[in-house]
Structure 1
Amino acid sequence: MTRAGHDTLQTRKTLTIDGKKYDYFSLKEAQAKLGDLSRLPYSMKVLFENLLRFEDGRSVQVEDVEALKTWLATRKSEHEIAYRPARVLMQDFTGVPAVVDLATMREAMKALGGNAQKINPLTAVDLVIDHSVMVGEYGTTRSFKDNVDEEFKQNIERYQFLRWGQSAFKNFRVVPPGTGICHQVNVEYLAQTIWVEEDEDQKGVNIAYPDTLVGTDSHTTMVNGLGVLGWGVGGIEAEAAMLGQPVSMLIPEVIGFKITGKMKEGTTATDLVLMVTQMLRAKGVVNKFVEFYGPGLDALSLADRATIANMAPEYGATCGFFPIDAETIRYLNFTGRDPHRVKLVEAYAKEQGMWRDANSVDPIFTDTLEMDLSAVEPSMAGPKRPQDRVPLSKAVESIKAIAPEIRKSPVEGAGYDLEDGAVVIAAITSCTNTSNPDVLVAAGLVARKALAKGLTTKPWVKTSLAPGSQVVTDYLTKAGLQADLDKLGFNLVGYGCTTCIG
């Protein structure tokens, strides 16, 4: 259940979808009283709605809403607001302490003679177990089973505790181990783009509002590719949000990133995001929102957008936001979301001025920069930092610059030497890469081509495939590409972060 504020500006209206009614807080009605705010960035419109809905005269006042009008004039602000996300996303490393605190609070309530069952998260919480699987076994058909068995053996107490938490607390769900990486599970399943909850003060009345979240992982930002505003926070902030407390923040600057053109054949979203990261690092976007706009968005799939949004921590922004449009709707349908909810997403976005299409007027931003997608070239992440992008055409000279003299060392009992620059770990993993079908299918096709040319994996290379979700295994298997990857040693080792977190 959710609660609403005083609605001093009288913006609460009703939207009907297939005969079902939803209350919502109208940005149009607010603008009739405050003046035209239609050219606010889409990400700021999400904050606008949040302030309208929670305006209670205490934590959120009408002056906080009015501060957005001032922002539109100055494009920056020192005004502090109280933002309440719709939900909290956690993973098993940073999320367990929060559940321990809830359990401790219940014990304290019981000791005081109160009802321990009243201690529950006030905001919906999803905890995805993805950080604990290790790649102990690799390169065989038993790798996945052996690694999962070892994972349960080492973490059984934690997992039993989390399973108890799911049954004991309201508003708390656990996605079990072996399912996927939390950010991809969030995009594919948990996120709804428009959230719906019953009004706690009016039984039977549902309120629709933008899906928003904070998460205890920096790459929580990935879901911004689906038009869901979210970013990573520390454990204390996430726990406060879980208990219904607002996130205190300054109204952010918003950097508009205009995208034009189309990508050339042979380039991927990974190449694109490395260039985006390099440009935004040079621009300086720390503590700022980045919002993508322009005609080039129509050439980016949802998976490509999620890849770009995912790496907001690498380019330094609070988030990298993509507004709701036809591609958002296509993806929600494609991933099996409830058809009624998908209709609500489209109708709500259009009613609230949160819908983007080719005819949309560009928002007003604090500052802007621009990229032509045709300029993207195959690239590698820098040897230490992703923003130190290395074009593939300059890879050889880049390695020579790092190691001008190649040293060799014999491996005792192995019959071969290792030299500077030798690849010893080849892991197809990370929430950034394994969320994108184009990248994963490309990996499978490279494996197939390598086999056709008689190439094999060097004996010193540790190979692994850890997809972001079971969906990846499904399409690689159906395409016949998993068999090619297996032959080179890239057998499934688990669904989780694995090598990416060391």
Structure 2
Amino acid sequence: MMSNHQNSFGARSTLQAGSRTYTYYALDMVAEAGLDIAHLPYSLKVMVENLLRHEDGVTVFREDVEEVCRSVNERSDKEIAFRPARVLMQDFTGVPAVVDLAAMRDSIRQLGGDPDRINPLQGVDLVIDHSVQVDEFGSSRALAANVEHEFERNQERYLFLKWGQQAFNNFRVVPPGTGIVHQVNLEYLANVVHTRTDDGVTVAYPDTLVGTDSHTTMINGIGVIGWGVGGIEAEAAMLGQPVSMLIPEVVGFKLTGRLPEGTTATDLVLTVTQMLRTHGVVGKFVEFYGPGLAHLSLADRATISNMAPEYGATVGFFPVDDETLSYMRLTGRDEET
């Protein structure tokens, strides 16, 4: 938690959950200040919480929160500083980022400083998937053989990444053969509610991220705000720099009824994509809502969110609900966290 945090809304609060005490930033304090938080889309509420938590009077100001709350009724061209909770990288962009960190450590050492002080400030997950080639297929041994060939081809790189995982804080590597980066993120890495402990205080806040894969948006299907960025932007976020962005315009997409028998998520997503392309959602947040959500599985939601780059949106967001919690339990997430 920042020592220069302004907390001008008095939003910092505590929550007791079981035997643990968490600090969080309460949005109802924004409402008490006379701002209309209740009618904000859920995706913008996540952005407001992010601003409240990072209000420092330097990069984030009280006026930023006020502007986001007004943006639903009055379009704004104001830029805000968004800080994702973590950074997701695939191997083609992630390995150069680790090389940069190693180079910075080497420079600090040459200048007589402590190289161990160079670490990612945000959590970083590097998933190895893009470089894996298919040498064998159609047999029970194919997966193991392809992973074995991958380690043989790129032994030097994996030795380097193993060193990096041991040397740097806030850095994890997911080995080849585990799955595609955005699928691994959905099934294992994302936690919906993120926690971080500084100076003995554990802060709970929405899980958010930027990733170096265009289909990072798949994670929007479980109520996590995230989108794809370039390698330089991801590396800047990894080092604690905020992502500068215009306050997003949110387009609501109401879902009613249920899919008729015989239709698939592919049929649905192609229809949704066609409708959103016709409407025009480039650079906007799309948020899905309505009674139809109750009949849409998490897999179907993730498929729709995964296609956000195809319909041009920054995110295709599904708010957290009972289906989200059921999926978290199904995939073995910790019940308390």
Q: Same fold (TM over 0.5)?
A: yes
Secondary structure in 2 aligned to 1:207? Answer: strand
Alpha-carbon displacement from aligned partner over 1:428-461 (angstroms, at most 9, x marks no partner): xxxxxxxxxxxxxxxxxxxxxxxxxxxxxxxxxx
Deviation at residue 139 of structure 1 after TM alignment: 2.3
Whole-angstrom CA distance in 1 between matches of 2:28 and 2:144: 54
Secondary structure in 1 aligned to 2:89? Answer: strand
Whole-angstrom CA distance in 2 between matches of 1:191 and 1:226: 9
Corresponding residue for 1:226?
222
Whole-angstrom CA distance in 2 between matches of 1:99 and 1:221: 24
Corresponding residue for 2:165?
166
Correspondence 1:83-98 to 2 at 5 A: 83-98=82-97
Relative to structure 1, the CA distance from residue 106 to residue 300 in structure 2 (aligned partners, 3 Å threshold; closer, same or farther) is: same
Kept in 2: contact 1:79–1:250 (CA 8 A): yes
Corresponding residue for 2:28?
28
Secondary structure in 2 aligned to 1:8? Answer: coil
Code of the aligned partner of 1:105? M
Code of the aligned partner of 1:305? R
Alpha-carbon displacement from aligned partner over 1:128-148 (angstroms, at most 9, x marks no partner): 111111122222333223322
TM-score scaled to structure 2, two decimals? 0.97
Corresponding residue for 1:12?
12
User: Which structure: larger Rg?
Assistant: 1
Q: What root-mean-square deviation, in Å, do the aligned CA atoms of Structure 1 and Structure 2 show?
A: 1.2
Q: Which consecutive residues of structure 1, in runs of 5 or more, have no partner in the other structure?
A: 342-502
Whole-angstrom CA distance in 2 between matches of 1:73 and 1:95: 40
Kept in 1: contact 2:143–2:177 (CA 8 A): no
Whole-angstrom CA distance in 1 between matches of 2:18 and 2:89: 34
Deviation at residue 219 of structure 1 after TM alignment: 0.6
The answer to whether residue 255 in structure 2 is matched with residue 256 in structure 1 is: no
Whole-angstrom CA distance in 2 between matches of 1:19 and 1:168: 32
Deviation at residue 56 of structure 1 after TM alignment: 0.5
Correspondence 1:57-96 to 2 at 5 A: 57-74=57-74, 76-96=75-95
Report runs of 4+ in structure 1 exceeding 4 Å deviation: none
Corresponding residue for 1:333?
329
Deviation at residue 272 of structure 1 after TM alignment: 1.1
Corresponding residue for 1:180?
179
Corresponding residue for 2:300?
304
Deviation at residue 168 of structure 1 after TM alignment: 0.7
Corresponding residue for 1:124?
123
For 2:235, which of 218, 239, 248 is the aligned residue? 239
Whole-angstrom CA distance in 2 between matches of 1:22 and 1:228: 20
Count of matched residue positions in the alignment of Structure 1 and Structure 2: 336
Alpha-carbon displacement from aligned partner over 1:329-356 (angstroms, at most 9, x marks no partner): 1111111111112xxxxxxxxxxxxxxx
The answer to whether residue 275 in structure 2 is matched with residue 279 in structure 1 is: yes
Give the percent of matched residue pairs that are identical in Structure 1 and Structure 2: 64
Secondary structure in 1 aligned to 2:316? Answer: strand
TM-score scaled to structure 1, two decimals? 0.66
Whole-angstrom CA distance in 2 between matches of 1:140 and 1:10: 61
Deviation at residue 72 of structure 1 after TM alignment: 2.4
Deviation at residue 60 of structure 1 after TM alignment: 0.2
Alpha-carbon displacement from aligned partner over 1:269-289 (angstroms, at most 9, x marks no partner): 122111111111121111100
Corresponding residue for 1:43?
43
Code of the aligned partner of 2:85? A
Deviation at residue 242 of structure 1 after TM alignment: 0.2
Kept in 1: contact 2:35–2:66 (CA 8 A): no
Kept in 2: contact 1:106–1:119 (CA 8 A): yes
Alpha-carbon displacement from aligned partner over 1:345-394 (angstroms, at most 9, x marks no partner): xxxxxxxxxxxxxxxxxxxxxxxxxxxxxxxxxxxxxxxxxxxxxxxxxx
Deviation at residue 82 of structure 1 after TM alignment: 0.2
Secondary structure in 2 aligned to 1:40? Answer: coil
Corresponding residue for 1:105?
104
Code of the aligned partner of 1:157? E
Code of the aligned partner of 2:222? L
Q: Which consecutive residues of structure 2, in runs of 5 or more, have no partner in the other structure?
A: none
